[in-house]
Structure 1
Amino acid sequence: MRIIYALPLLLLVTCSASKEKIDLLVHHAIIYTVDSSFSTAEAMAIKDGKILETGSNEALLKKYEANETLDAKGQFIYPGFIDAHAHFYSYGLGLQTADLTGTDSWQAITDTLRSFSQSHPDGWLIGRGWDQNDWEEKEFPDNEALNTLFPDRPVLLSRIDGHAAIANNKALQMANLKPGIIITGGTVEARNGKLTGILVDNAIDLVSRIIPDPSAQQIKQGLLDAQQRCFAMGLTTIDDCGLPYQVAEMMDRLHKSGELKMRLYVMLSDGKANFDYLFAKGSVKTDRLHINGFKVYADGALGSRGACLLKPYSDKPNWSGFLLSAPEHFDSVANILYNKNFQMCTHAIGDSGNRTILNTYAKYLKGPNDRRWRIEHAQVVNKADFALFGQYSIIPSVQPTHATSDMYWAEQRLGPDRVRGAYAFNDLLKQNGWIPLGTDFPVEDISPFKTFFAAVIRKDAKGWPANGYQIENALSREAALRGMTIWAAKSNFEEKEKGSLEKGKVADFVLLNADIMKAAEGELLQVNVQKTYVNGEKVFER
């Protein structure tokens, strides 16, 4: 009788021993794998940070024994979101300065700065996020109020896009700036022989370069703060566009210490020290950090009228913006990066800026290729130039929330005909059949759900305009999700290791409380991240 009673226990032990042991088993989920067929699954097995298998609940629960299980209770899992264009480092540092986003007047900015200065009584007063297009008076301010409030303390406040700033007289004096100064690719504004404090594009560097560098502790804290906020949004890889190599090295150290877990694709800034560094070292690739290219700047931003246009601005006759460097500079960078096999990623906003870079790329790429050279933003493109993206396999890396932020005033800048070639995401998608999406945070909000909403719905949070902004250039939900996952990975040469939930790929995924592929328009901006996993490790839980 004892033998008979022991049989159930023996069968249980035998059954358990026959199961394959894994680290994590996700089950009873609706999993969007974002594979080539856009298939869904119910369960996913993970071991050593990699996906072993996706399939049905019945099959995987029967096959695997896991150290940890995640019962999704019918909720929705997607590949970890990838932001194909952002400023992770700058965003983190910006959390330590005055936040001016959402201010609706110059008075609101000075009020915010006065309050901030009381809790930060020493050193430079730095802020970012103002946008004169959000004010009733939609013109650049002058610095008189700043001079009155802070006569002995230097102040530098950057516009939301980082392509314009205002400095008080103390900062201008410390930088030794005087009326009449001329700078390539920038403007030091003066009125009646007196500096107004407004600096556009390259002129900002004349002041920012004298600001003391942040300490190592400030940099570390900024990176960790940025990571925390990004994980809470389901972001697992960030393309950080335009860094000095020293910051990339600190990221690597924090990765190795285990403090920084965010995966980062870093573009080094266009500068000799960065070129020398990467040319000597070669492409950098760890499991969390990838450095393989350079960020170059063709022109400024549309909001500050620094974007370089083929014809003058509709709201500023006789002004067409400017290139930030001579065309010969872009050509020389393209030449050396092509020959050394690095990726070139160039910021271009205006139709002249885009044409200049498209033609520069074409000179070296010569036809279809797999170099994956990118144009960051590709914001205003002349109708005659769209085909160049496909002809030379040039990748437009776009940020959908720029469309819904700029739509209130873009036509004033460009006119009714030229604006049809702006924020033309669907037209750009057609050129190569894929398009990576990002936010450009902190220029825009870090939320990938706002990216998705802007790409698909093309309205603001209040539902304006009723039919969507230039709705013919909206993306489908599938295209938008691919743009935030597998296509973003592809733009970084990483599509074989991430961007979809398939066997052998890293277990980076996010659990949401709603299905963005089917949720009603009005529900998309209310979707919440429940959990975020990187390499099979839970890094965020609501």
Structure 2
Amino acid sequence: MRHWLLAGFTLLSSQVLANTTLFHNVQGYTPTLQGGLEQFNVLVVKDGKVVKIGDDTLLKQFPEATRHDVMGRTMLPGLIDAHGHVVGLGNNLVELDLRGKRSIEEIGEALRDYSKTFEGDWIIGRGWDQNLWPSQQFGNAQDLDKYLADKPVVLTRVDGHAVWVNTKAMSIAGINAQTAAPAGGEIIHLPDGTPSGVFIDKAEGLIQAHIPAASQPAVAKALHTAGEHLLSLGITATHDAGIDYTTWQVYLQEAKNKTLPLRIYAMLSAADPYLDKMLDAGVVKDPNDYLAIRSVKIYADGALGSRGAALLDSYKDRPGHHGLMLETPEHLQELLRKAFKHGFSANTHAIGDKANRIVLDAYEAEFKKTGGKLLRNRIEHAQIVEPSDIPRFKQLQIIPSMQPVHATSDMHMAEQRLSDKQLAGGYAWQTFLKQGSKVAAGSDFPVELAEPFHGLYSAITRQDSQGLPEQGWRASEVLSREQALRAFTLDAAYAGFQEHKIGSLEQGKWADFIVLDADYFKVPVKAIHDIQVEETWMAGKLVFKRQEQSANSETDAASTAQP
């Protein structure tokens, strides 16, 4: 009997090993929960989770494991984008894309070309930035009418904080000279007092309310379009910064069906009319860690590019204008209270120094009344912060959720908009880290490209893609390569309560990792910007492989659905 049991145990052990995959010939790096960076040459995975990392001695410990030769390439944990807009990205990939257009004429021609094959009722586009145009002035409805007048056109600014529409869209929305902007919004007017066709921040809603709402199938299509794109860039998890009720429903169904393409930590939009219903449904924690919904996204102010960011002092290039607060302090506290009482974190958009101060004040006041300080609350962007307010992030345990590429995209515009004094606490990543704050890094896609290595490069250099300025812009705030990687992995995971599940390749965590065409830690710093992801793996299964890369796997490639 004893021999039979021993034989059975031996057989079982062989089966366990046979279900284990050993990735070897790896140049691997991972941050660790204990701090620092660990290098490894072998990764052992079982049931989608990390068993061990180490050197070649692991080859002898797991002799019957399926082996996968990584061919000496670099392996990192799957990257986490801590601030993006998933459905917005998916839509942006198929709608009219105006990013980088250098004039109103370029935009008009793109609009006219797009309209020739467009079959819907409303033409939607995104990506314009008047700071790239010769005049650096907003366009108007007549500028668009020249190219398309018989269909409503709504073009969103690159940062999402302004829309530019044609006369047809304003007519449908009933906009005229008597239309008043809502609190927290601005309607730009022509010299004769008529609306120009540009609506900023909460005034966008005057137009958007008339655009047909997206259906659940349309949202699901955008989700999978975005998911496929993000996986190709090495992003295995993202924080979706403000979802509406329809998206919430789609996410729940996709998680139930195990068809989410990547891991999503979703924030409920505080502006959604169904917020209470979503909060009442409670915190969502998917057992496979593909979906977590446990926070609320609140908007405190606008954006710097549209002069909507709320400032303590006025804009250097628009004297007397201080930007826009989108919520009163009282309503901010009310929203915080509502989130905390349901056990949800509050993640608040604040770009200007005035907005950051008011939001910090609101958190501090509400913590005293309701509690909630331990909920890993965040300020999204935290771009321009009065230096004396930076220590308050640490004191109040507020996580600065920041997007490194914003600094290099904004630097020329920011210097036009702001004085040196206002920029003293601007994009202050290193200052936050030195005081002990964790910086959760992201891209704010589709405001910026979702490319994570652009963000890592910006964090490390504070330079644009051409390597300018040579010493870096306000270079005292640069991050090391290790700090930048941690911000896009383990600290981003921490900001979503997921540091024990993802963000590093440590024992017991999901085996989410990427294989690169270059060594992130060894290539010249300028080459980081152009690193390509060759393979993306989630829970030990291949979910993306670059086409030109030859097949080398001894394991089966999986689809982009959950295991």
* Fold agreement, TM-score > 0.5: yes
Aligned partner of 2:19 among 16, 22, 29? 22
Instruction: Give the conservation status (yes or no) of the 8 Å contact 1:389–1:431.
Output: no
1:349-408: CA deviation from partner (whole Å, max 9, x where unpaired): 000000000111111335995321100000100112111111111110000000000111
Number of the residue aligned with 2:393: 389
1:84 maps to 2:82: yes
Q: 1:251: Cα distance to partner?
A: 2.2
- Given the superposition, is the C-alpha separation of residues 218 and 491 from structure 1 closer, same or farther in structure 2, using an over 3 Å criterion? same
**Match for 1:315: what amino acid?**
D
**Match for 1:335: what amino acid?**
R
Instruction: Give the conservation status (yes or no) of the 8 Å contact 1:45–1:64.
Output: no
**Match for 1:351: what amino acid?**
D
Number of the residue aligned with 2:423: 419
1:120-140: CA deviation from partner (whole Å, max 9, x where unpaired): 143111100000111121111
- Given the superposition, is the C-alpha separation of residues 125 and 15 from structure 1 closer, same or farther in structure 2, using an over 3 Å criterion? closer
Number of the residue aligned with 1:531: 535
1:280 maps to 2:280: yes
Instruction: Give the conservation status (yes or no) of the 8 Å contact 1:393–1:432.
Output: no
1:186 maps to 2:190: no
How far apart, in 1, do the equivalents of 2:11 and 2:21 lie?
A: 21
How many pairs align? 529
Number of the residue aligned with 1:66: 65
Instruction: Give the conservation status (yes or no) of the 8 Å contact 1:348–1:379.
Output: yes
- Given the superposition, is the C-alpha separation of residues 19 and 506 from structure 1 closer, same or farther in structure 2, using an over 3 Å criterion? closer
Aligned to 1:33, what secondary structure does the other structure show? strand
Number of the residue aligned with 1:166: 164
Q: 1:89: Cα distance to partner?
A: 1.1
How far apart, in 2, do the equivalents of 1:279 and 1:59 lie?
A: 47
Instruction: Give the conservation status (yes or no) of the 8 Å contact 2:200–2:306.
Output: yes
How is 1:457-472 mapped onto 2 (pairs within 5 angstroms)?
A: 457-472=461-476
Instruction: Give the conservation status (yes or no) of the 8 Å contact 1:368–1:391.
Output: no
1:204-228: CA deviation from partner (whole Å, max 9, x where unpaired): 1111111112233322221111111
1:487 maps to 2:491: yes
Q: 1:166: Cα distance to partner?
A: 0.6
Instruction: Give the conservation status (yes or no) of the 8 Å contact 2:316–2:416.
Output: yes
How far apart, in 2, do the equivalents of 1:258 and 1:25 lie?
A: 26
Number of the residue aligned with 1:324: 326
Number of the residue aligned with 2:381: 377
Q: 1:432: Cα distance to partner?
A: 2.9
How far apart, in 2, do the equivalents of 1:78 and 1:382 lie?
A: 35
**Match for 2:337: what amino acid?**
N
Number of the residue aligned with 1:260: 260
Q: 1:33: Cα distance to partner?
A: 2.3
How far apart, in 2, do the equivalents of 1:269 and 1:49 lie?
A: 32
1:360 maps to 2:362: yes
**Match for 1:389: what amino acid?**
F
Number of the residue aligned with 1:5: none
- Given the superposition, is the C-alpha separation of residues 248 and 24 from structure 1 closer, same or farther in structure 2, using an over 3 Å criterion? farther
Q: 1:530: Cα distance to partner?
A: 1.1
Q: 1:444: Cα distance to partner?
A: 0.4
Number of the residue aligned with 2:204: 204
The percentage of counterpart residues that share the same residue type is 38
Number of the residue aligned with 1:242: 242
- Given the superposition, is the C-alpha separation of residues 318 and 456 from structure 1 closer, same or farther in structure 2, using an over 3 Å criterion? same
Number of the residue aligned with 1:7: none
Q: 1:64: Cα distance to partner?
A: 4.4
- Given the superposition, is the C-alpha separation of residues 278 and 220 from structure 1 closer, same or farther in structure 2, using an over 3 Å criterion? closer
Aligned to 1:179, what secondary structure does the other structure show? coil
Aligned partner of 2:28 among 26, 31, 43? 31
How far apart, in 2, do the equivalents of 1:136 and 1:272 lie?
A: 38
Instruction: Give the conservation status (yes or no) of the 8 Å contact 1:255–1:261.
Output: no
How far apart, in 2, do the equivalents of 1:292 and 1:368 lie?
A: 13
**Match for 2:23: what amino acid?**
V
Instruction: Give the conservation status (yes or no) of the 8 Å contact 2:280–2:342.
Output: no
Aligned partner of 2:518 among 514, 517, 528? 514
**Match for 1:89: what amino acid?**
V
Q: 1:296: Cα distance to partner?
A: 0.2
Aligned to 1:384, what secondary structure does the other structure show? helix
Aligned partner of 1:177 among 175, 178, 182? 175
Aligned to 1:407, what secondary structure does the other structure show? helix
Number of the residue aligned with 1:345: 347
Number of the residue aligned with 2:155: 157
Q: 1:256: Cα distance to partner?
A: 3.6
1:451 maps to 2:466: no
How far apart, in 2, do the equivalents of 1:274 and 1:290 lie?
A: 18
- More divergent stretch after superposition (421-430 vs 304-313): 421-430
Q: 1:54: Cα distance to partner?
A: 1.2
- More divergent stretch after superposition (286-295 vs 55-64): 55-64
Aligned partner of 2:404 among 400, 410, 413? 400
How far apart, in 1, do the equivalents of 2:144 and 2:341 lie?
A: 49
1:417-474: CA deviation from partner (whole Å, max 9, x where unpaired): 2112111111122233421100000000101101100101110111110100100011
- More divergent stretch after superposition (98-107 vs 116-125): 116-125
Aligned to 2:154, what secondary structure does the other structure show? strand
- More divergent stretch after superposition (132-141 vs 398-407): 132-141
How far apart, in 1, do the equivalents of 2:536 and 2:255 lie?
A: 18
- More divergent stretch after superposition (210-219 vs 312-321): 210-219
Q: 1:333: Cα distance to partner?
A: 1.1
Q: 1:279: Cα distance to partner?
A: 3.0
**Match for 2:444: what amino acid?**
D
Number of the residue aligned with 2:97: 99
**Match for 2:392: what amino acid?**
L
Aligned to 1:65, what secondary structure does the other structure show? coil
Question: What are structure 2's unaligned runs of at least 5 residues?
Answer: 1-9, 547-563
- More divergent stretch after superposition (187-196 vs 273-282): 273-282
- More divergent stretch after superposition (17-26 vs 507-516): 17-26
1:313 maps to 2:311: no
- Given the superposition, is the C-alpha separation of residues 24 and 413 from structure 1 closer, same or farther in structure 2, using an over 3 Å criterion? same
How far apart, in 1, do the equivalents of 2:88 and 2:331 lie?
A: 26
Number of the residue aligned with 2:300: 298
Aligned to 1:122, what secondary structure does the other structure show? coil
**Match for 2:266: what amino acid?**
V
Aligned partner of 1:439 among 431, 439, 443? 443
Instruction: Give the conservation status (yes or no) of the 8 Å contact 2:215–2:246.
Output: no
> TM-score under structure 1 normalisation?
0.94
> TM-score under structure 2 normalisation?
0.91
**Match for 1:422: what amino acid?**
G
How is 1:137-156 mapped onto 2 (pairs within 5 angstroms)?
A: 137-156=135-154
Aligned to 2:82, what secondary structure does the other structure show? strand
Instruction: Give the conservation status (yes or no) of the 8 Å contact 2:400–2:438.
Output: no
Instruction: Give the conservation status (yes or no) of the 8 Å contact 1:86–1:441.
Output: yes
Question: What are structure 1's unaligned runs of at least 5 residues?
Answer: 1-12
**Match for 1:536: what amino acid?**
G
**Match for 1:45: what amino acid?**
V
Number of the residue aligned with 2:220: 220
Aligned to 1:500, what secondary structure does the other structure show? coil
- More divergent stretch after superposition (347-356 vs 51-60): 51-60
How far apart, in 1, do the equivalents of 2:270 and 2:41 lie?
A: 46
**Match for 2:429: what amino acid?**
F
Instruction: Give the conservation status (yes or no) of the 8 Å contact 2:340–2:372.
Output: no
How far apart, in 2, do the equivalents of 1:387 and 1:33 lie?
A: 29
